[in-house]
A and B are shown apart, each in its own frame.
Chain A
Amino acid sequence: MILTIFFFFLIPILNGSLIAHLLWPERKGSALLLKFSLGIGMGLGINSILYFLALNIAPKQINVLAVEVVLFVTLGIIVFLRERNQKWERRRFLSLSRIQWGLIIVGLIASAMLVLIFVDQSIAQPQAGIDAWSIWNRAARFISRDPENWRATLSPDLYWHDHADYPLLVPLNVAWGWQMIGSENVRVPMMVGAFFVLASIGMMFATVALTRTIGQASLATLVLMGTPLFVWAGAGQVADVPVMYFIFASSALMFLALTQQNSAFLILSGFMAGLAGWTKNEGLLLIVACVVALIVVNLKELFRSLKFFLAGLAIPLTMILYFKSIAPPSDLFTGSSALVQILDISRYWMIFGALGRQLLTFGYWPFSIFIGLAFYALLMQIHWETYFDKGLQAMASTILLQSLGYFLIFLLTPHELIWQLNTSLYRLILQLYPSELFLFFSVVSEPEKVFKPT
């Protein structure tokens, strides 16, 4: 059954990878890994959009799998015609240094263990955590059990904790998977969760390897994998891992676009930002943060960069706008007395206090990973010249603006602030965590320099 589910999802994933390859025909090993990692998110994003359109146009009558297969054949032919006369670079793994091999091997063992953690966690809790079944898989059940009446999942009569306003990328993929295999098998949402965990790991390795070194990429990936919360949240099937992946993808692609002067990355960045908004409401904030970051950092070429970013954003944004026009309002924006809360100094203290505690305990590390990395940076040295790098500035601005948005949400939430902080702050930090790690390992000296033969 697991293989059957995998093969159904493989077609959309390959479609995503082929689209990424058509836009960015780089053939390096790390570039191919990046395209496959991007393909997972893009493929599942496109699949959810197609299924959403099918539900709206003619539920139960349009075969999304057939559309995916046609798309795959078309993309495959285009890529084949373009690639048949190209020379592929042969990777020389043996040219890696001993420190690089060492880090890669440690990383591979860690990733094998990560698979075991994911499996153990999934067996222990097949229906996953409360948010998974009450929000995401509940919505998937509404869609798969009654496709003709799928809009019931957006009913304002649903209890606020069911979050009828939450976007549908994850539930649509789960419902589609159930439809494909003909039953509500718990392995479908597990696999969707696993795809995003693996894609995040692959993207971390590939982006850092492309921009820095293999050793630095292995180290960044090891720190990500070593964060227990990352895999637990992934196996817990909450949408924070998919939105984390899309935030990372969008900001890393913006970084690549600005450092390599390649507009294709901006198109992909816009598309990924749109898919972030199509996954979770925090992704809507990302769209705004990316646009503002582009305006601030790339003012001289603003029109050009915005044009490509918005071109990528267009399709998912259209879906989001339509979805929001039929979905009920968010529980975060109902009945709060904004001005009173903004003027309440105690709320600021509470938020900063909770943030401070998270900085010390985030991710279930046995020590504070943020303080540990700060010490590491002090000792290993930071490349200050990168401060002037537009790509890094854009990524840092995006993270900063996104964090500011989260801060405002806590300030304005109509729910009890302590409850809101306890239940969501660690997940919001997780959403930005890979982007922060990428930024960190982009400016810190790489391991190869430490072990450079003198």
Chain B
Amino acid sequence: MRLNLKKIFLALLVLAGFFSVVQSWLSTLNLNQGGAAIDAWEARLMPAKKALPIKRGVIGYVGEWDAPGISYAYWDQESEYLLAQYSLAPLILKKGAVEEWNVAVLSEPAFAAWQKANQGKFEIIPLKHNVYLFHRLANP
């Protein structure tokens, strides 16, 4: 009796392991986890990378969190910041327009709000798809 029970339990463990593999295989068929989104983000930042006169060192990163009065989704902004760092490596990105050269990804209202708050402090180089370069002016 006990031996049969052991055989049944052993068979159950084997079946569970096997069907778990089958199940996870089925769940990965036709899976789309947004891999193209990262490539698109990299392509979006490529003009900024080319336009920047420095190829190593620290630059600033301006996101919607830097635009006064603009509401934003924290994790979206956080992910965009990390993606920008990944795309622009080996440049080091610090939050805010804190360096001589700064890259910005801002929606139109966010850009307007940021520009209003930083009038005359930066030379603004607009690129495509809401990407900008902000160059700090020596004597604003």
Contact = CB atoms under 8 A, between A and B. Distances in A.
Given A141-B89, A219-B13, A379 B5 contact: yes
B92 interface: yes
A228 B90 CA distance: 35
Given A117-B25, A120-B28, A157-B58, A380 B9 contact: yes
Interface stretch (A5-13, A50-58, A142-150): A142-150
Interface string B35-55: 100110000000000000001
B31 interface: yes
Interface string B12-33: 0110111011111101110111
Contact of B85 (A103, A138, A223): A138
Nearest to A131: B82
B56 interface: yes
Contacts of B13: 219, 223, 372, 376
Contacts of B14: 103, 106, 219, 222
A42 to B, nearest CB: 28
Given A120-B25, A375-B9, A158 B92 contact: yes
Interface string B83-94: 101100110111
A228 B18 contact: no
What does DSSP make chain B's interface, helix, strand, loop or mixed?
Answer: helix
B73 interface: no
Contact of B6 (A125, A137, A138, A379): A379
B82 A116 contact: no
Contacts of A227: 20
A76 interface: no
Contacts of B100: none
A405 B102 CA distance: 41
Interface in A299-314: none
A226 B17 contact: yes
A121 B31 contact: yes
Contact of A110 (B18, B33, B56): B18
Contact of A228 (B20, B33, B83, B89): B20
A25 interface: no
Contacts of B86: 133-134, 137-138, 141
Contact of A364 (B17, B24, B95): B24
Interface string A106-140: 10011001101100110011110010011001100
Interface string A152-166: 110101110110000
Given A153-B90, A367-B16, A376 B9 contact: yes
B101 interface: no
Contacts of A133: 38, 82-83, 86
A450 interface: yes
A-side interface size class: 35 or more
B132 interface: no
A447 B3 CA distance: 11
A370 interface: no
B140 interface: no
B70 interface: no
Given A225-B21, A226-B16, A366-B23, A125 B34 contact: yes
Contacts of B21: 110, 113-114, 117, 225-226
Given A110-B18, A110-B21, A152-B90, A159 B85 contact: yes
A365 interface: yes
Contact of A231 (B24, B79, B85, B92): B24
Contact of B18 (A146, A222, A364): A222
Contacts of B29: 120
Given A380-B9, A451-B7, A158 B85 contact: yes
B123 interface: no
A127 B27 CA distance: 19
A124 B18 contact: no
A196 interface: no
B24 A161 contact: no
A232 interface: yes
A138 B31 CA distance: 24
A127 B35 contact: yes
Interface in A337-393: 364-367, 372, 375-376, 379-380
Given A120-B31, A159-B95, A447 B20 contact: no
A139 B103 CA distance: 20
B123 to A, nearest CB: 23
Contacts of A232: 24
Contacts of A121: 28, 31
A124 B79 CA distance: 19
Nearest to A375: B9
Contact of B35 (A125, A226, A231, A379): A125
Nearest to A114: B21
Given A121-B28, A138-B86, 9 more contacts: A106-B17, A145-B90, A149-B90, A158-B92, A219-B14, A222-B14, A226-B16, A231-B24, A376-B13
Question: Which 6 A-B residue pairs are closest in the complex by CB-CB distance?
Answer: A226-B17, A226-B20, A124-B31, A120-B28, A228-B24, A222-B17
11 contacts: A117-B21, A120-B28, A133-B38, A141-B89, A141-B90, A145-B90, A159-B95, A219-B10, A225-B17, A231-B24, A450-B7
